Amino acid sequence: MSVANVTPQSTSPKLGDRLLGGAQALGRALMLPIAVLPVAALLLRLGQNDMWGWTHNAYLIANGIPFFAQAGGAILDNPPLNLAMIFAVGIAYGLTSDGAAAIAGLVGYVVFLAVFKTMIPQLAGAPDIKGYNMGVFGGILIGVVAAWLYKRFHDIRLPDYLAFFGGRRFIPIITGVAAVVLGLLFGWIWPTVQGWINDLGTGIIGLGPLGPGIYGFLNRLLIPLGLHHVLNSYVWFQLGSYKGTTGDLSRYFAGDPTAGNWMAGFFPVMMFGLPAAALAMVRHAKFPKVAAGILLSAAFCSFLTGVTEPIEFAFIFVAPVLFVVHALLTGLSLFICNLLQIRIGFGFSAGLIDYVLNFTKSNSNNAWMILPLGAIYFVVYYFIFSFCIKVFNLGTPGRGEERTGLSADWILPESQRGPRASKNGKTAVASEETADQDTVLAAQVLEALGGRSNIDSVEGCITRLRLFVKEPEQIDDARLKDLGAAGVIKRGKIVQVVMGTQSDRIAERIKRLMKEGAETVAE
């Protein structure tokens, strides 16, 4: 066959794909510093005296446990420094997976904040630095810059007399220089930018209950793209101000009596609504025992901890109409909670643990209303999901194998998953001497993605693989679903494969296989 007339395809992603990919990568990297918040919030809450009113210990009733409060407050009570610093380090590492970038993020943020604090009083005519606060945005900015400089210069070669400072050692140095420039720049422009942000926040708050409702709807709608964390970072850490602290989450734990109204509406959905949705999917499954094996445990996880993705990814791709309904109901819940002036927050997510811990917090308001509202939401979710599944014959877990091409057990927990037979009937099973099951699965996923030559980059998130690929058409969607993928999302050369909570491990093994030049393991 002649190849003279074949036009080579461009392997470079388009600008739009690059921008979306960058936003998705940032959303993934944000999860690393955000993971610190639950522990900090837990310690801070356990340290408060109102937590110990049920005891007979006079000291605990009067003082709480001070060292717990100090431990949690070290992070949450000083967001312009400690929390933003954690974001700078976490994002730099999350985007590069290299400690040199993390150190650069730390150095860069310390330098940036020092220059910023010096410039604000001089150029903005504001002697009180507390009036101007970049919050975690400064940490996010420096983290992204440190990661970019790492990717650009991590293998730089310097002249012999400066060779010691070459390679990775150069990254903290160049990041520090960049931080000086950025500190000067933002020290000059931030008063104006903060004014815009305050106007935006005032505008959103000025919408009344509709503002949180819109946020709740968009929060769920952005889950497939992994961009909801970017939206959360503004609402949780930038929206509003209270005694120098910004963000609904940070202000809530700082004691702001008006905070928590942008978080309260998630409790009825995560504690009651989604477990009811899981029950509806089990009740209408052709294989209810198979569906119950994962959905009921996922429902308990959602109720207890507020981790919802195991349920949401069970219907996002096979029944998107349910996903839109879920997003609308989430927005409605935030709208209703705001109307009822329900205020309660969370350090991790809107599950029972955070609800119990924060129920008695002094600035929580009408938190008891979550329970009757949750009961109503349980009924609403159950009947709406049941109605849609039956009327539209939706391919939810345990019932949609013929329509979706998914095997009956694709929703099994990852501990029960293993390499599955391919379309030609062959099954790749590695012996324990040659590879563990994760490596076997990673090799098969790599093959289904078109091999190492088709992959520009791969990263793991909580529940999905994020990839840049050269030719999306080479990806075998059916094979990936045979291997346990709940869905495959493609937008140009950007691809996401939802593999559940094992995704991070698979991504690391795929990187290892690509580095070693191996696409398969012994059968």
Residues with active-site annotation: 461
Do residues 497 and 64 lie in contact, with contact meaning Cβ atoms separated by under 8 Å?
no
Question: How far is Cα 399 from Cα 496, in angstroms, rounded to an integer?
Answer: 24
Sheet (strand 487-491) strand order: 455-460, 464-469, 494-498, 487-491
Classify residue 487 by its DSSP letter. E
According to DSSP H, which parts of 124-209 are helical?
A: 136-153, 170-206
Nearest C-alpha neighbor of 106 from the set 71, 131, 142: 142
Note the Cα 158 to chain centre separation in Å.
38
Nearest C-alpha neighbor of 337 from the set 299, 383, 372: 372
Do residues 134 and 84 lie in contact, with contact meaning Cβ atoms separated by under 8 Å?
yes
From residue 97, alpha-carbon distances to 93, 151, 276, 308, 494 in Å are: 5, 11, 38, 26, 20
Q: Which two tokens stand for residue 152?
A: 């650009």
The count of C-alpha atoms lying within 13 angstroms of the C-alpha of 345, restricted to the half-sphere facing its C-beta, is 28
- The total number of residues written for the chain in this structure: 523
Q: Which two tokens stand for residue 229?
A: 């964390």
Question: How far is Cα 245 from Cα 227, in angstroms, rounded to an integer?
Answer: 24
Nearest C-alpha neighbor of 21 from the set 321, 195, 227: 227
In SS3 terms, 389-458 reads as HHHHCCCCCCCCHHHHCCCCCCCCCHHHCCCCCCCCCCCCCCCCCCCCHHHHHHHHHHHHCCCHHHEEEE
- CA angle 157–455–493, rounded 5-degree value: 110
